[in-house]
């Protein structure tokens, strides 16, 4: 199956392809459905086509404005970037190819913790959602802050808002631009020494083509505080000296 895009003057360019094997025998209703192995991004005006797979095809059928058309002008396998020329129509043969369009994106999430290591105190967790993604879409970022850390506040740059419920921070982003990031800051405080692993997830409002990069984790290591300074008073021949242990 091919997706063709008009290049003007009766020419078309292949912008996407997917190989399928027809069932044998052909179903009684003559209808077969195939999921795409890889999503193909389409735009208005694109047409669907069929070609015989192999290394020697020189033509394919695709649905044009005036009925099915035979395209030629290319020798060898038809792959993205191949060019075809419309050469004739086939009025007595109908090409029944239909595609179900699904809007998808590929969002990602990165995380950093500052400082990553230190004594008890305040730390900043920064979440950076981003692309690539062909479209700007609303999305939600959720972060479950580990027990032992206290959430002091959360906010997002740009168009969006964050709320805190218990140890969970939820940020709604009105529209995340493609291939761009928006910073989400979560301020936490720590008291007890230990290693805390923070997990976050971004979920777009439409299907994500690569959910594997939708999660991010960061680690905060809280070290034990330095021991308090001590002073020892020594009496020597009526004089008083103070000995201090440096911090």
pLDDT at 241: 47
pLDDT at 81: 73
Answer whether 73's CB lies under 8 Å from 14's CB.
Answer: no
Residue 230 belongs to a domain:
no
pLDDT at 151: 96
Residue 194 belongs to a domain:
yes
pLDDT at 6: 81
CATH classification of the domain holding 210? 2.60.40.740
Answer whether 206's CB lies under 8 Å from 137's CB.
Answer: yes
pLDDT at 64: 57
Same domain, yes or no, for 67 and 157?
no
Residue 237 belongs to a domain:
no
Same domain, yes or no, for 134 and 192?
yes
pLDDT at 55: 47
pLDDT at 61: 64
Kindly give the parts of the chain with pLDDT less than 70: 52-78, 84-103, 132-136, 176-181, 229-247
Kindly report the pTM of this predicted structure.
0.57
Answer whether 14's CB lies under 8 Å from 82's CB.
Answer: yes
Residue 117 belongs to a domain:
yes
Same domain, yes or no, for 129 and 206?
yes
Answer whether 154's CB lies under 8 Å from 160's CB.
Answer: no
Residue 235 belongs to a domain:
no
Which domain does 41 fall in, by range? Answer: 2-89
Rounded CA-CA distance 184/163 in Å is: 12
Same domain, yes or no, for 48 and 115?
no
pLDDT at 29: 75
Residue 238 belongs to a domain:
no
Domain count, the chain: 2
pLDDT at 173: 87
């Amino acid at each position: 199956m091919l997706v063709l895009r008009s290049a003007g003057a009766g020419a078309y360019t292949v912008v996407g392809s997917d190989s399928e094997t027809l069932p044998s025998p052909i179903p009684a209703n003559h209808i077969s459905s195939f999921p795409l192995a890889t999503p193909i991004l389409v735009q208005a005006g694109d047409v669907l086509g069929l070609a015989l797979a192999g290394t020697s095809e020189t033509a394919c059928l695709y649905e044009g404005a005036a009925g099915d058309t035979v395209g030629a002008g290319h020798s060898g396998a038809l792959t993205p970037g191949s060019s075809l020329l419309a050469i004739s129509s086939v009025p007595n043969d109908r090409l029944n190819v239909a595609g179900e369009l699904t809007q998808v994106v590929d969002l990602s999430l990165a995380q950093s913790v500052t400082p990553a290591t230190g004594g008890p105190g305040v730390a900043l967790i920064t979440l950076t959602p981003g692309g690539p993604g062909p479209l700007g879409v609303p999305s939600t970022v959720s972060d479950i802050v580990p027990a032992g850390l206290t959430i002091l506040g959360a906010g997002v740059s740009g168009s969006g808002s964050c709320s805190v419920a218990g140890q969970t921070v939820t940020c709604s982003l009105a529209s995340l631009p493609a291939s761009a990031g928006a910073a989400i800051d979560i301020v936490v405080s720590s008291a007890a020494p230990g290693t805390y692993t923070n997990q976050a997830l971004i979920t777009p409002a439409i299907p994500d083509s690569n959910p594997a990069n939708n999660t991010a984790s960061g680690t905060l290591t809280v070290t034990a505080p330095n021991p308090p300074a001590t002073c020892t008073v020594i009496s020597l021949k009526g004089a008083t000296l103070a000995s201090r242990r440096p911090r």
